[in-house]
Amino acid sequence: MVGMVDVVVAGSGICGLTSALRLQRAGASVALVTADPPENTVSAVAAAVWYPTYTAADPRVFDWARRTFDEFAAQAALGVPGVFMRSTRMLLRAPAPAPWWAAAVRDFRPAPAEQVPPGYAGEWRFTVPSAEMVPYLGWLSDRFVAGGGVVLRRRLPALAEARTIAPIVVNATGLAAGALAGDPAVHPARGHIVLVANPGLTVSIRDEDHPDGMLYVHPRSRDVVLGGTFEPDRYDPVPAEATARAIVERCTRLVPDLRGARMLGQLVGLRPARHGGPRVGVEDGWLVHNYGHGGAGMTLSWGCADEVARLALAAGAGGRRSSDRPATS
Ligand SMILES: Cc1cc2nc3c(=O)[nH]c(=O)nc-3n(C[C@H](O)[C@H](O)[C@H](O)COP(=O)(O)OP(=O)(O)OC[C@H]3O[C@@H](n4cnc5c(N)ncnc54)[C@H](O)[C@@H]3O)c2cc1C
């Protein structure tokens, strides 16, 4: 049992943990209620590289992405576990102007034409933050507890149930938010990745429009994440061997150094996608939503958490003001 706290956050993926920490930093007492521990969330499967995958060019999204970039860059400089900056080469199948998110990235530039690999129309180069999610989520969770946060392992049957813990509830339940918030726009975008031993790679490469499926190669400290798939409305959690083979083949064709790299495992995760983009906003004065980030939950996490903390504290202050009023007014 916990006594009444100011805010309860439902969900301990990247969206829940960052929201809880921002609330704590703002002085709120916070509890976190979660069905799964951080290492069993979709967040733990993420590649997780800063890149606004399939997100729209809307001003809020740009701001979330930029703030998140800056926070992760600062954490990488401080040596936070699992966080590092990664040089990236993004290969283009058709000529394209600089993307809307380029202004959030500090060193975005097109590659000189003579350095673009044969078969591609262009290449962008940039450096972005990346996080090894298992140690990083653990670090976030430890900080939350060290800051006085309470974690409860419980699957909420309904979000209103969390109001027995706090007057303000943050809904960061990912894909489960579809049912919990009654939101038909929420759907899975299934992702399959393969992990291989790192043969010494230090640069990420992406070819998002590869005709056989999304292609990315993201080196980490010990392994390399090879991707991948983005399959809307597919729930199957089991990785298929043929898909894994196809991912390894197309990545190896582009990055021959991967040839023969030992396979360490493969993972499937259901990205919590939402038609219309992430939902970050208040409902009924007590419920603050933070879900539906699809393939960009890490990329938008800290920026959304800033907004969630602002909204939740304002909702809490509003609730206190209205309950202070005499019942007859
Ligand atoms: C293969 C793959 C690669 C990816 N790569 C990237 C990348 O490179 N960059 C990037 O930005 N993003 C990436 N993503 C996307 C990213 O993983 C998601 O956007 C992000 O993890 C969503 O986080 P979340 O906190 O909303 O949800 P989740 O991590 O799913 O967490 C949801 C939480 O809610 C809890 N919960 C659910 N129901 C209940 C309930 N009833 N009661 C209590 N708790 C409940 C769960 O236990 C869990 O703790 C990738 C995803 C996949 C699958």
Per-residue model confidence as pLDDT tens digits over 265-306: 999 999 999 999 999 999 999 999 999 999 999 999 999 999
Distance (Å, whole) CA 76 – CA 2: 34
Residue 319 binned pLDDT confidence (cut-offs 50, 70, 90): confident
Residue 56 binned pLDDT confidence (cut-offs 50, 70, 90): confident
Please compute the mean of the pLDDT values over residues 205-214 and round it to a whole number.
94
**Which ligand 1 atom is at minimum distance from the Cα of 270?**
53
Note the pLDDT of residue 2. 62
Please compute the mean of the pLDDT values over residues 124-133 and round it to a whole number.
98
Residue nearest to atom 51 of ligand 1 (CA): 46
Q: Which amino acid, one-letter code, is at 112? A: P
Which strand (E) or helix (H) includes residue 152? strand 150-153
Q: Does the pLDDT of residue 324 top 50, yes or no?
A: no
Please compute the mean of the pLDDT values over residues 204-230 and round it to a whole number.
95
Pocket-testing residue among 8, 14, 130, ligand 1, by greatest number of atoms within 8 A of Cβ: 14
The rounded Cα 190 to chain-centroid distance in angstroms is 14
Please compute the mean of the pLDDT values over residues 233-254 and round it to a whole number.
96
Pocket-testing residue among 40, 43, 140, 291, ligand 1, by greatest number of atoms within 8 A of Cβ: 43
Residue 325 binned pLDDT confidence (cut-offs 50, 70, 90): very low
CA of 83 to the centre of ligand 1 (A): 18
329 or 307, greater pLDDT: 307
The rounded Cα 302 to chain-centroid distance in angstroms is 9
**Is 255 in contact with 284 (CB distance < 8 Å)?**
no
Cβ-defined contacts of 68-71 (< 8 Å, 24+) = 68/298, 68/299, 68/300, 68/301, 68/302, 68/303, 68/304, 69/104, 69/105, 69/128, 69/129, 71/302, 71/303
Distance (Å, whole) CA 193 – CA 210: 15
Secondary structure percentages of the chain, helix, strand, coil, to 5: 35, 30, 35
Residue 12 in contact with ligand 1 by CB distance below 6 A: yes
Considering only CA atoms, which of 98, 99, 104 is closest in space to residue 70? 104
Note the pLDDT of residue 282. 98
What per-residue string of b and e applies to 136-145 under the rule 16 or more CB within 10 Å gives b?
bbbbbbebbe
Query: Which pair of tokens denotes residue 157?
Result: 């049957």
The rounded Cα 5 to chain-centroid distance in angstroms is 26
Note the pLDDT of residue 322. 55
Residue 82 in contact with ligand 1 by CB distance below 6 A: no
Give the mean pLDDT of the chain: 94
Residue 317 binned pLDDT confidence (cut-offs 50, 70, 90): confident
Note the pLDDT of residue 107. 97
